[in-house]
Amino acid sequence: MKKTLLAILGASLLFGAISANATPEQDRKELLDYFKHKSPNVKFDDYVNGAFIYNADALNQYNSIMEFPPFYTVVDQGKKMWETPFKNGKTYASCFPDGAKNIAGRYPYFDEGLGKVVTFEMALNSCRKANGEDELAYDDMGTMGVLTSYARTLSDGMRMNVRVEGAKAVAAYEKGKQHFYSRRGQLNFSCASCHVHQAGNIIRTEYLSPVLGQTTHWPVFRGGETLFTLQKRYEGCNKLVRAVPYKSGSEEYNDLEYFHSYLSNGLPMKASVFRK
Amino acid sequence: MRKSPTLLLAASLAGMLLATANGYAQEQQKPAEPTGQELAFNNAKGNCLACHMLPGDPKAVTNTNIAPPLVGMKARFPDKAKLRAQIWDATKANPMTVMPPFGRNLILTEQEIDKITDYVYGM
């Protein structure tokens, strides 16, 4: 009896807490409306093209580079890494349903057992560990970065489908949201300052991309050759405002990626693309 | 909040942004005594060009449209001290501004702010 009462009380408290804030779906819809209003001519799927949606010349350049990407040898190298068996003879593909086809859009997810957010990169490391291999460093573009440049292409075309369900998942999402909307660094910007409020505007000579579609196409090759993972980009954007960056693979960034990715739900994935 | 660009007066933005278009400032910069213009252009200092057009200075290379152009400053700021205060901490006049608080956050020294104020006031 006592237990049920507590459970009901708990549930109603929880309900109150969630409805006081916006739900993840309300957050996403609100931003969608905001960007629809801001750029009525941009089609939803085109948000994966980031800042290029605001600049026809840059989009043309992007499209022509993507016909023969100068970085295809790197992606090929990633394919070799993906296909090379571990010492025990198994491969990465054995760790995922359907050989990891159309799976990356479900990451990050909240793992109730672990009590934390799990990124696709963490799943790759779990796979290595389960097969007796050393883990790769999350900030090592030459190993983890290259591996994902192929592994993520197996999910090209799938629509981003991140779920936030249950109180703990919502709490992690809220932490990411807080990172996104908090001003930081000596220059006193939030992520939202640049990628919501100023999205589509030009900072010196560069268009600012909208938050919608920012998580669908990683890693990117900046200048056509330098590989950046999403969390490496977080580091760069933290440094831009002279804030001390967190580490790739930190819980802070994983929670940020969780929130950030949810906002791109419904958009088509396409890994390993050109960026300026 | 969406209206805020019109409230965002004077100087600059994010450091270390876009190395492009910064060649001029770096080339001209004498480490000993940079001028107000150099401080305004340098992306590690005022970096005004990240967010403001400077139509009065033909050397200013930027395509930005984030904040209002720095032009007609004497008419907009009859009181020069108000312009300086805006550069020192723009969040005082408008908490929602994205203009960095150059004085409050020690992005620029008091002397550097004086020089940039003089330079911008001439625009």
Q: Say if the Cβ atoms of A201 and B100 lie within 8 Å.
A: no
Prediction pTM value: 0.88
Residue A150 near residue A78 (C-beta atoms within 8 A): yes
Q: CA of B10 to nearest chain A CA: how many angstroms apart?
A: 15
For chain B, say whether A182 makes contact (Cβ under 8 Å): no
d(CA A29, CA A31): 5
For chain B, say whether A18 makes contact (Cβ under 8 Å): no
Question: What does chain B come to in residues?
Answer: 123
Q: CA of A170 to nearest chain B CA: how many angstroms apart?
A: 27
Which CATH number is A2-69+169-270 given?
Answer: 1.10.760.10
Mean pLDDT of A129-141: 98
Chain A residues whose beta carbon lies within 8 Å of the beta carbon of residue B16: 239-240, 242
Q: CA of B8 to nearest chain A CA: how many angstroms apart?
A: 13
Chain B residues whose beta carbon lies within 8 Å of the beta carbon of residue A239: 16
Residue A108 near residue A254 (C-beta atoms within 8 A): yes
* Count of beta carbons in the 10 Å neighbourhood of residue A95: 16
Residue B46 near residue B102 (C-beta atoms within 8 A): yes
| Distant-in-sequence, close-in-space partners of A37: CB < 8 Å, separation ≥ 6 | none
Residues B8-19 have pLDDT tens digits of 433 344 434 444
Q: Where in chain A is the domain with CATH 1.10.760.10?
A: 2-69+169-270, 72-155
For chain A, say whether B106 makes contact (Cβ under 8 Å): yes
Quote the pLDDT of residue B32. Answer: 72
For chain B, say whether A189 makes contact (Cβ under 8 Å): yes
Q: Counting beta carbons within 10 angstroms of the beta carbon of residue A121, is it exposed (0 to 12), middle (13 to 18) or buried (19 or more)?
A: buried
Q: Say if the Cβ atoms of B14 and A189 lie within 8 Å.
A: yes
- In B10-96, which residue ranges form alpha helices assigned H by DSSP? 23-28, 36-41, 73-76, 80-88
Which CATH number is A72-155 given?
Answer: 1.10.760.10
Residues B24-70 have pLDDT tens digits of 555 555 567 899 999 999 999 999 999 999 999 999 999 999 999 99
Quote the pLDDT of residue A37. Answer: 97
Mean pLDDT of A252-272: 98
Options A95, A191, A194, A237, the catalytic residue: A237
Query: At the top level of CATH, which class does the domain B33-121 belong to?
Result: mainly alpha
Q: Say if the Cβ atoms of A240 and B65 lie within 8 Å.
A: no
A95 is catalytic: no
